[in-house]
Structures are given as structure tokens and as C-alpha cells.
Amino acid sequence: MIQQITRGIKISVETKFEGSFLKENIPHHAFLYFITIENQSKNVVQLLSRHWKIQEAINRPHYVNGTGVVGKKPVLRPGETYTYQSGSLITSPMGSMSGTFIMINFTTAKKFNVEVPCFKLNVPYILN
């Protein structure tokens, strides 16, 4: 598990390799990732948007930006957590993801960035 705390918001990430398949004679590798957001601050916060950088070993990075996560914009009171799962499909057997959640502090009405630590997307058999 990878973890990082930014401004009182703890992000924990776990990944799971789901398998490989060919699509149009190009290998694709499927990964699930599970993210837990824990509010360790003293303020109520809300996740507004996300920005991902997906890096593959053999391709240029690509970026994904969007509102909320999995269709939701969770509000977290102090001590609360929110967990979700999503997935990534890459064509290289090795890759990584990192990103930023844009959040708002309800006490100050100010937006702030929470870093999502870099996590690996590696096909298990490639590391042997």
C-alpha cells in the first residue's frame, strides 16, 4: 500500500492486476486501483475534481481530468474516510499513475491540492 498526507488529507492506494488481453493485435493490461481518502484535518472538505498522469514504459504519458471520482464529489468531515475503486488499461507491461485531487475547505472556502502518490501498474510476471 502506498500512502501520502497532504494538508491533513491522507491518500492510500492499493493496486491489483486483473489480466492481459489482445485487442487489435496490441497487448492490453488491466489494473484495478483502490483509493482511500481520510480526512485527518479539523475541517470539512469536499473533493471537487481529479487530475491523473498515466505513464507507460513504452508510450508518452497521457492525462485524465474530470469532475469528482467515479461520479461522486464526496464530502468528508474530520475523521471520515471515503474509499472507491477504479481501473486503468495500459498497453505497456510496466507503468505508473500519479495525480492530484482538487478539494475545497468548507471553513475557509479555499480550494487546495492533495497529491496522490505515484503507484505502480506492473504486470507481475514482467518483474521475474
Per-residue buried b or exposed e for 38-49, using 16+ beta carbons within 10 Å of the residue's own CB:
bbebebebebee
Give residue 14's pLDDT: 97
| Cell of residue 97, nine digits | 499513475
**DSSP conformation class of 59:** S
Give residue 42's pLDDT: 97
Give residue 128's pLDDT: 56
| CATH superfamily for domain 2-120 | ApaG domain (2.60.40.1470)
Provide the whole-model pTM.
0.92
- pLDDT means per 10 residues, the chain with 128 residues, are 95 96 92 98 98 91 94 97 96 95 97 97 80
Give residue 127's pLDDT: 64
Match 469532475 to its residue by C-alpha cell. 67
Domains of the chain, by residue range, sit at 2-120
User: If phi over 0 gives left and psi between -120 and 50 gives alpha, with beta otherwise, what is residue 58?
Assistant: alpha
